[in-house]
Structure 1
């Protein structure tokens, strides 16, 4: 791990732009800009449909064979089902750890973490969140992810710990603040709060803050949750578990200063930085695997 002095990343970079530069997305952006000038209500509905659709879709994840030694159990969830991954050789009564992927990901991205924790005598439980992997639906949102985590916890919890990546980390932090039963948590490459994503989305589509503000109003009405509840200032006073935050300095999808901002408001938490791993490779970094396993093995204070 690197220990050189922290320097804030450049804030002009827009991570959302990488998802909307392919020709089909550019065509949608052009249509959205035209609609936003002449029919802003319709453009808002269209934008929300695009915003809540994971890109790429879950077909590639579904096409992959289930790894050897794993099975999938389905849990009923909001008219569909959640795919929950479990190892076939789990020791009876082993403490359980929940592993949560990020947006446009799936449970397979957490396998290296799961195997490292299993080697420490823990039982890893992985979940394909709604609209991802082998779970139902094609669109989803952060509020639904939080509900999904409580559904999985009702069946398999309480947890020795939770390991979560990116937007899954933000959903996990909110669920923990709402009482998700876990002794500790490791949040890897924590995503920025949703209001920042809306700003990035509006800029990437060329429509700006007006659309982002209308989307925020509709999303908050639909979810019944204020976006401010995913900000560090709301989360930190409500998080009681020991928290390990891991982030890579070269993460261009979720800049590391969002993890730094949460850590600064969480007494007793720890921020561990890597270099050169980016947003997803950091999950499999050997030092990260060791740090997460050690953090979750510590007894709750």
Structure 2
């Protein structure tokens, strides 16, 4: 028996398929809008608790656009948290208290068009530009902890000079083109419309998707990296994390089971493992 959700999905797929055949350029514009427009959702109670004690401020980015920055602690090596697409800074705020207790200063920001920051649409290149801007403002970073699209943006930002001593990438995607293909097919768009959409996005941000491949950027990176990926991630397949780890000269891949794409962020064992990696190069008793 067909459920309401199955019927709705069939209607959506049929609509996108027909529009792709009848008007592929119009369908490409529609897919572009869907692909670049993040969803803003309210913070659950746990994230509101994690934000307690944080000092927030608004910083100016490009074209007077404002980004919201959060800060925990006032001294110590700086650790920056970077969320993913349709995420928010508070998703990674579970790292703040443990790291502050270890003597770190923890910072996070809502990416363009996310959380409390300005904007309606954004994509990977803009994530990376914003990360470079915030990183330059904050000064040298001891570490960056990033999730999903934020992890891909961190890889790109490191290749463009982000001053960061080590990085932790959680559920990192490696191939933006593959992700667009996956989303486009899932929504029912034809291959012709998907390729047209990619060309539109490449022109919009003045960078071809081929230059954003993590496996092509990683070989020239010398920043030690800890990659953590779950075998059951339904959003970013583990094969992407494996390709990225194989290409990164100083990378370690930790494979988990049963945490999926998002639970990975707040698992206590993962938080402890990340702390050990971040503390590895600091003199004792800084991280005792």
Q: Is the structural similarity TM-score above 0.5? A: yes
Q: Give the superposition deviation at 1:266.
A: 1.9
Contact 1:62 1:134 in 2 (8 A): no
- Residue of structure 2 in register with 1:41 after alignment: 25
Q: Give the superposition deviation at 1:177.
A: 0.9
- Residue of structure 2 in register with 1:71 after alignment: 55
* 2:35 aligned to which of 44, 51, 57: 51
Q: Aligned pair 1:286/2:268, yes or no?
A: yes
> C-alpha distance in 2, partners of 1:102/1:146?
11
- Residue of structure 1 in register with 2:131 after alignment: 149
* 2:113 aligned to which of 99, 113, 131: 131
- Residue of structure 2 in register with 1:185 after alignment: 167
- Residue of structure 2 in register with 1:83 after alignment: 68
> C-alpha distance in 2, partners of 1:241/1:131?
29
How many equivalent residue pairs? Answer: 275
Q: Give the superposition deviation at 1:171.
A: 0.6
Q: Deviations over 1:169-190 (max 9, x none)?
A: 0011010011101000000111
> C-alpha distance in 1, partners of 2:246/2:7?
37
Q: How does 1:265-280 map to 2 (within 5 A)?
A: 265-280=247-262
Contact 1:174 1:229 in 2 (8 A): no
TM-score, normalised with respect to structure 1? 0.85
Pick the structure with more helix per residue.
2
Q: Which runs of 5+ in 2 are unaligned?
A: 283-288
Q: Name the stretch that deviates more: 165-174 or 204-213.
A: 204-213
Q: Deviations over 1:173-217 (max 9, x none)?
A: 010011101000000111241111111122112223222211121
Q: Give the superposition deviation at 1:82.
A: 0.7
Q: Give the superposition deviation at 1:59.
A: 4.6
* 2:16 aligned to which of 26, 32, 48: 32
> RMSD of aligned C-alpha atoms?
2.2
> C-alpha distance in 2, partners of 1:155/1:76?
11
Cα 1:58–1:267 change in 2 (3 A) is same
TM-score, normalised with respect to structure 2? 0.88
- Residue of structure 2 in register with 1:117 after alignment: 99
Q: Which runs of 5+ in 1 are unaligned?
A: 1-19
> C-alpha distance in 2, partners of 1:91/1:65?
21
Q: Name the stretch that deviates more: 159-168 or 111-120.
A: 111-120
Q: Give the superposition deviation at 1:144.
A: 0.9
